[in-house]
Amino acid sequence: MSETPDTTADTDAQRAALGAAFGRSADPLAEFASTFEQANVDPFELFDADILGARNLAVGSRNKYLTAFRHWREHMAREGRHPACPNEQHVKAFIHRERTERGNNDETTKMKLQKLNAAYEYWAEDPQFPHPHDYNPFKLARSKVAFDGPDRKEPPRLPIDDLRDVVGDVAHLRDRAVIVTQLKLGLRAGELRNIKLPEVSVENEAVRKHYPDLGTHPMLDGRKNTVYIPHNREGNKSKRPRVLPLDDETRRALFYYLLARPDNGEPWMFLAPEQHTQMKRKTVNALWKKAFHPEYDETEHHRAVTSHFGRHRFTTFWRVEQDVNIDLIHYMRGDVVGGSPMDDDRGAMNYYIHTYYEDIEQLYRERMFTLNF
């Protein structure tokens, strides 16, 4: 533990005094324990069915969650509390027991906490569970126990108006095209730098005249204003290929960039400054930081905005703000939707893309956010 017994008792007393002053409880889930017992519903089984089932994990990976849940249930049974209603001390005791009685190393204990936290966050998101957003005993205990390193913070939550302000201030055509493309397509830096000209269809006479190969990739299947992201290219982490629509704003950003882009025969859409070769991942990250820093540097509560922010914001928009079907989100992110990771069979890839594309195109047409740059 990171605290000595004296300082722990001291801060506990001070926190208790604050809680009393504000009418807040240090054990806010205790009142729900008996209801959970009577309901005879296993919240971990719901997480398994709703979340793990949707992720279609390998058996070994799913078992890691189930093992963590089983050990947690055993621990909470000894503590005499329903496993879905812990307080900070229950979690700290679990960490202690894992380290001492089970003899686990910290990596294993942290892994179990991560699985338990995933279940807790699922309960907190679901309105039918009583778990509040502003109390998470797993995160609280995790942050107060000294493991090897500091916790990973969440990216900042940028309202759309703030995002518009930043994008509106990006004057460089390439930088703006990169940021808009990542925000609207949810691409990783590696996937963005890997886009080749034939894999992008932009319906504009001037652009097509300048780049005759544009949009000629067979996986686009003649679809206009789209981009193909392969899953089997070095540097692309995704398990599935995807074709995504380009909305008006993305097309406009790409249009202005492509007309200014050096036409030196390089197949890559986004070129590095100066050398005009394939853009490096570091360069992608650097231009994000140039646009978003210092305003969105790392803070006490959030990590800094980097090139990964676009993918995070994209996922948050569709999953949280739009509550879109999880299969469609998996498709848009290039995650495994069902079955196993895909091989290189073009027929299978075409069928897979055809299954989801129409719904995705409708989503983009009707619900995609605007950046107003």
Partner DNA sequence: GGTGTCGCCGATAAGTCCAC
Partner DNA sequence: GTGGACTTATCGGCGACACC
Q: Which residues bind DNA (CB under 7 A)?
A: 55, 57-58, 60-61, 63-64, 66-67, 70-71, 102-105, 107-108, 110-111, 114, 148-149, 151-152, 188-191, 234-237, 272-275, 280-283, 285-286, 289-290, 298, 303-304, 306-308
Distance CA 25, CA 292 (A): 38
Q: What angle do CA 184, 185, 189 make, to 5 degrees?
A: 110
Please give the Cα distance from 145 to 371 (Å, whole number): 41
Residue 250 identity (one-letter amino acid) = T
- Gap between the Cα atoms of 54 and 49, Å rounded: 8
3-state secondary structure of 260: helix
C-beta of 234 vs 300, nearer to DNA: 234
**Minimum distance, C-beta of residue 23 to DNA, in the bound complex (Å):** 33
Q: Cβ closer to DNA: 116 or 349? A: 116
Q: Nearer to DNA by C-beta: 64 or 252?
A: 64
In contact, 240 and 56? CB cutoff 8 Å: no
CA atoms of 217 and 59, how far apart (whole Å): 36
Beta bridge pairs of residue 228: 243
- Give the count of beta carbons closer than 10 Å to the beta carbon of residue 223: 16
Q: Min. distance of Cβ 144 from DNA in angstroms?
A: 15
Could you tell me the smallest distance in angstroms from the CB atom of residue 148 to DNA? 5
Minimum CB separation of residue 114 from DNA in Å reads: 5
Which of 296/352 has CB closer to DNA?
296
The amino acid present at 297, given as its one-letter code, is: D
Residue number, 70 or 78, with CB nearest to DNA? 70
Containing 336, the helix (H) or strand (E) segment is none
| In the complex, minimum distance from the CB of residue 253 to DNA, in angstroms, rounded to a whole number | 18
- Which residues partner with 271 through β-bridges? 278
Residue pair 226/245 in contact by the 8 Å Cβ criterion: yes
Minimal distance, residue 41 CB to DNA, in Å: 22
Q: Among residues 176 and 251, whose Cβ is nearest to DNA?
A: 176
